[in-house]
Amino acid sequence: MREWADFSVDEGDGGGAKLTLTGALLISSIAVLDRRFREWSGGEVAEIDLSQAGAIDTVGAWTVWRFARDHDAKITGCTNEATRLIDAIKDFGGEADISPRRPPILERVPQGVGNLVVSWGLGVIRLVGFLGAIIASFGTLIAHPRRLRWTAITRQFELVGVSALGIIGLMSFLIGIVIAQQGAVQLRQFGAEIYTVNLTGRLAIRELGVLMTAIMVAGRSGSAFAAQIGTMKLTEEIDAMRTIGVSPMEALIIPRLMAVVFMMILLGFYSSMVAIVGGAVISDLTLGIPFMTFLSRIQEVVPTHDIWVSLVKAPVFGLIVGVAGCYQGMQVEGNSEEVGLRTTWAVVQGIFMVIVLDAFFAVFFTEVGWG
Amino acid sequence: MSEEEEHLVEQVDHHSRPFEPKHFDGEYPIVVKGLVNRFGDQTIHDRLDLEVRKGEILGVVGGSGTGKSVLMRSIIGLQMPKEGEIEVFGRSAEELLDEHEVDIRSRWGVLFQGGALFSTLTVGENVEVPLKEFYPELDPELRHEIARYKVRLSGLPDEATSKYPSELSGGMRKRAGLARALALDPELLFLDEPTAGLDPIGAAAFDRLTRELTDVLGLTVFLITHDLDTLYEICDRVAVLADHKVIATAPIPELLELDHPWIQEYFNGPRGRAAKSGKEDLEARVASSTGAKKTKAMDTKGKSGD
Query: Do residues B50 and B30 lie in contact, with contact meaning Cβ atoms separated by under 8 Å?
Result: yes
| pLDDT cut 70: percent of chain B above it | 93
Per-residue pLDDT averaged across B113-140, rounded? 88
Q: Name the residue of chain B whose CA is nearest to A30's CA.
A: B138
Q: Name the residue of chain A whose CA is nearest to B209's CA.
A: A88
pLDDT for residue B53 is more than 50? yes
Give A248 to chain B, closest Cα distance, Å. Answer: 24
CA distance A181 to A188: 11
* Chain A contact present for B167, CB below 8 A: no
pLDDT for residue B274 is more than 90? no
By Cβ distance, the residue of A36, A93, A335 closest to B148 is: A93
Query: DSSP assignment of A89-145, as one string?
Result: HGGG-----SSPPPPPHHHHHHHHHHHHHHHHHHHHHHHHHHHHHHHHHHHHHHHSG
Query: Do residues B197 and B5 lie in contact, with contact meaning Cβ atoms separated by under 8 Å?
Result: no
- In the beta sheet, which residues pair with residue B88? B30, B91
A17-25 and A53-56: which strand pairing? Answer: parallel
- Is A32 within 8 Å of B161 when comparing Cβ atoms? no
CA distance A241 to B254: 48
By Cβ distance, the residue of B16, B122, B216 closest to A100 is: B122
Across A74-83, A174-183, A195-204, least confident range: A74-83
Query: Do residues A176 and A204 lie in contact, with contact meaning Cβ atoms separated by under 8 Å?
Result: yes
The pLDDT of residue B295:
41
- Is B185 within 8 Å of A97 when comparing Cβ atoms? no
pLDDT for residue B238 is more than 70? yes
What is the value of ipTM here, to two decimals? 0.79
Give A241 to chain B, closest Cα distance, Å. Answer: 22
Per-residue pLDDT averaged across A91-110, rounded? 85
Q: Name the residue of chain B whose CA is nearest to A56's CA.
A: B217
Query: Do residues A34 and B8 lie in contact, with contact meaning Cβ atoms separated by under 8 Å?
Result: no
Class of domain A6-92: alpha beta
pLDDT for residue A174 is more than 90? yes
CA distance B98 to B77: 10
CA distance A353 to B16: 52
Distances in whole angstroms, Cα of residue B117 to Cα of each of B80, B171, B173, B187: 24, 13, 8, 21
Per DSSP, the three-state class of B192 is strand
- Is B5 within 8 Å of A95 when comparing Cβ atoms? no
Across A354-368, B51-65, B204-218, B265-279, least confident range: B265-279
- pLDDT tens digit sequence for A231-271: 999 888 999 988 888 889 999 999 999 999 999 999 999 99
The pLDDT of residue A266:
96
* Chain A contact present for B126, CB below 8 A: no
pLDDT for residue B212 is more than 90? no
The beta strand positions in chain A, using DSSP E, are 6-10, 17-25, 45-49, 53-56, 74-76
Domain ranges for chain A, please list them.
Answer: 6-92, 148-367
CA distance B54 to B213: 14
CA distance A253 to A155: 13
The pLDDT of residue B299:
42
The pLDDT of residue B292:
44
Q: Name the residue of chain A whose CA is nearest to B120's CA.
A: A337
Of B274 and A273, more confident: A273
pLDDT for residue A203 is more than 90? yes
**Centroid of chain to Cα A165:** 25
Classify each residue of A85-100 as buried b or exposed e, where b means 16 or more C-beta atoms within 10 Å of its C-beta: bbebbeebebebebee
- Is B146 within 8 Å of A62 when comparing Cβ atoms? yes
- Is B145 within 8 Å of A62 when comparing Cβ atoms? yes
Alpha helix ranges (H) inside chain B? 3-15, 68-75, 123-134, 140-153, 170-181, 200-217, 228-234, 252-257, 261-268, 270-290
Of A294 and B7, more confident: A294
* Chain A contact present for B144, CB below 8 A: yes
pLDDT for residue A344 is more than 50? yes
Of A301 and B284, more confident: A301
The pLDDT of residue A319:
95
Contacts of B146 in chain A (CB under 8 A): 27, 59, 62
Across A302-311, A343-352, B149-158, least confident range: B149-158
Band of residue B234 on the pLDDT scale cut at 50, 70, 90: confident
Residues contacting A367, CB < 8 A, separation 6+:
none
pLDDT for residue B248 is more than 50? yes
* Chain A contact present for B169, CB below 8 A: no
- Is A4 within 8 Å of B145 when comparing Cβ atoms? no
By Cβ distance, the residue of A29, A35, A94 closest to B149 is: A94
Query: DSSP assignment of A174-200, as one string?
Result: HHHHHHHHHHHHHHHTTT-GGGHHHHH
Q: What are the strands of the beta sheet with B42-52, ordered from one edge?
A: B42-52, B30-39, B83-88, B91-92
The pLDDT of residue A186:
92
Residue type, B301: K
Compute the mean pLDDT over every residue in chain B, rounded to the nearest whole number. Answer: 82
- Is A97 within 8 Å of B165 when comparing Cβ atoms? no
- Is B142 within 8 Å of A63 when comparing Cβ atoms? yes
- Tell me which residue of A76, A66, A14, A5 sits closest to A44, measured CA to CA: A14
- pLDDT tens digit sequence for A303-340: 999 999 999 999 999 999 999 999 999 999 877 888 99
Of B198 and A199, more confident: A199
Band of residue A1 on the pLDDT scale cut at 50, 70, 90: low
Residue type, A105: I
Distances in whole angstroms, Cα of residue B135 to Cα of each of A3, A31, A109, A211: 14, 9, 36, 53
> What's the pTM?
0.73
Compute the mean pLDDT over every residue in chain A, rounded to the nearest whole number. Answer: 90
Per DSSP, the three-state class of A243 is helix
- Tell me which residue of A249, A258, A250, A254 sits closest to A315, measured CA to CA: A258
- Is B138 within 8 Å of A30 when comparing Cβ atoms? yes
The pLDDT of residue B170:
82
